[in-house]
Amino acid sequence: MPLLPEWVRGVDSDADVVVSSRARLARNLAAYPFPWRASEDVLNVVACKIRSACRELAVRLPGLKTYAIEKLNSTQKSFLVDAHLASAEQVYAGSYRFLVLEPSGIFSMMVNEEDHIRLQVIRSGLKLREAWQMADWADDVLASRLDFAFSTQLGYLTAHVSNVGTGLRVSALMHLAGLAKTGKLDRHLRAASDLAVTVRGAFGEASRPAADMYQVSNEITLGIPETEIVERVRSVTEYLLCQERKARNKLLETAKTQIAGDAESALKRLSSAMSLSTCEAFDLISKLRLAISLELMSSCNLTTANELLLGVQTVAGDDASAKIERARIMRTRLKYGTSKM
């Protein structure tokens, strides 16, 4: 199981703004009920068929491994959810749920989650086309071995109506702290909504989402070719990336000292706090990330900031014990990194 997925390491040149690019496909096997209606015997049959088909993927993904969810411990399950490699619904479900994963965390596939197959490719930075191309390849490979549920009128049939059609969700996770700080965010978000693309808070639905993180994704999966979906999301992501770069350059001219000071204070707080709420932790990490991207902080790098993002929601809730545990995780990750968790 990977310690640090590619998106956490932040290896792309635009990864300071576009944290990750993701392409996700939902598929179901014909003649079998959706997982929420299936018996354990059916889930077992479906899982065996999918796992067998996955052997064909090993030609391009030689390190691919399959994990039985029920055999993972709580720490491993939390990591998978926080790293966006599996959903909470998947890791806390019953038997015959599996995760197919390659070592870098770029490719993963949930078996018997909401749909029989939820495969995704998640890349660091602005790589929506690359993510889609790999997901499309994996889909073709699996389709050569499996009979997917498909309607000539509707397209691919999925457990949730919002995924019917292509079954494709394309998204980019963006850190828009510069636009938020300069007060120009709302105007650019409105401009981005004209292409049937949704931009919403990645970690909340408030007017100022936690950590200034936003997810750009397609609204429609039905009646639009997959390539057009990818290009729509890519266009909006590129637009917001350009505007965020302009905002950050402006901040370098007008608020350089303040940003550096805020980041140093944030680092001290994260390194020493004995109690942290979810909102406070996210706010501190956003300040840290912004200063790192502007090269105003040498004592912390983008990978570390992303590791902190990974750890914030490891503990659910904001009661006293959760705040204490969250603070401990922040202190430990700043001291040792993920490998010591």
Bridge-based pairing of strands 18-27 and 168-175 is antiparallel
Give me the phi and psi of 133, to 5 degrees please: -60, -40
Query: Global pTM?
Result: 0.92
Residue 332's CB: how many other CB atoms inside 10 A? 14
In order, the DSSP letters of 220-272 are --SSS-HHHHHHHHHHHHHHHHHHHHHHHHHHHHHSHHHHHHHHHHHHHHHHH
pLDDT at 277: 93
Q: What is the pLDDT of residues 304-326, one digit of tens each?
A: 999 999 888 777 789 999 999 99
Beta carbons within 10 angstroms of residue 207's beta carbon: 8
Query: What pLDDT was estimated at residue 282?
Result: 94
b/e per residue 308-330 (b: at least 16 CB within 10 A): bbbbbbbbeeeeeebbebbbbbb
Which stretch of DSSP H or E encloses residue 137?
helix 128-143
Cα separations (Å) of 162 from 26, 115, 147, 220, 292? 11, 13, 21, 8, 38
E strands, the chain, are 18-27, 65-68, 98-101, 107-111, 117-124, 150-151, 155-156, 168-175, 197-201, 213-218
In the beta sheet, which residues pair with residue 262?
none
Numbered ranges of CATH 3.30.590.10 in the chain = 6-246
Show the beta-strand stretches assigned E in 58-208. Answer: 65-68, 98-101, 107-111, 117-124, 150-151, 155-156, 168-175, 197-201
What is the distance between the alpha carbons of residues 274 and 60, in angstroms, rounded to a whole number?
46
CATH number for region 6-246: 3.30.590.10
pLDDT of amino acid 215? 94
Strand partners for 291: none
Q: What is the number of other CB atoms lying within 10 angstroms of the CB of residue 150?
A: 14
Q: How far apart are the first and last CA of the chain?
A: 14
Low-confidence stretches of the chain (pLDDT < 50) are 205-207, 339-341
Pick from 182, 219, 184, 183: nearest CA to 200: 219
Q: Which two tokens stand for residue 107?
A: 């490719």
* 312 φψ region: left (φ > 0), alpha (ψ -120 to 50), beta (else): alpha
Mean pLDDT of the chain: 91
At 57, the amino acid letter reads L
Residue 341 is predicted with a pLDDT of 39
